[in-house]
Every structure is written in C-alpha cells, then in structure tokens.
Structure 1
Amino acid sequence: GNPVPIEVDTEVRWIRENSSLHRTDGASGMGVRFINMAEHDAAAIQSFLESRDSLFYDDE
C-alpha cells in the first residue's frame, strides 16, 4: 500500500446497488471520476491498479 493518502475531488458517475429490483450476483459499488488530480497521485493509482487482479463481472 501507499503510506501517503491521496486527496482528490471526485464526481460520482454511476451507482450499482443490490436490491430486489437489481441482480444481486454482482458486487455493489460506484464509479467515480477524478477531478484535477495531480500527476503523482494518478501514477500511484495506476501502480495500484496494475498490481491487482480484475474484478470483472459479466452482465450477460
């Protein structure tokens, strides 16, 4: 992990909730857009993403 926290403004772009109206076999969560992110923070996030396995959920 990165010992230095990343602080950046975000905008929520989508929300996936588990409820009786939605499929519950996928994870709940949200997507955010980073706003005015510093280059070193973007590099830290990219490094984190490259070190993790994908959380792909097939919707079909």
Structure 2
Amino acid sequence: MEEKEKGRESPKTPPGSPSHQPPPPPPPAGPSRTSRAPRAFGSQVTPPPPPPTSTNQDSG
C-alpha cells in the first residue's frame, strides 16, 4: 500500500501554482499612523450604516 505513495504525488499547493511565491507586500503606512489618533480618524470618517434588515433592498 505504501508503494504507491500517492501523497507524494500531490503536494500541499494546488497544481499550476508556484510553490515559491513571494510574500504579499506590507500594508501602506498611511492608515497605520492614523490609528494612533482614533479621535481624529473617527471624526473625519464615520462608520458605514448597518445593513438593511430586509434582504429585498439588498439589490438596490
């Protein structure tokens, strides 16, 4: 049964994807420093309204 070694055939990464892909770029330092002053950030940008209770208006 071990002779097949089917596990070795299929690597963790899916076929076609480069196993040696570079890591994602770091986030911009812009919003990073704004978090230091939450009072200023919240004053300029208000949180988005809650989602509509009725799914009917979801399309609109």
Q: Between Structure 1 and Structure 2, which shows a larger proportion of strand residues?
A: 1
TM-score of the superposed pair, with normalisation by structure 2: 0.20
* TM-score, normalised relative to structure 1: 0.20
More helix per residue: 2
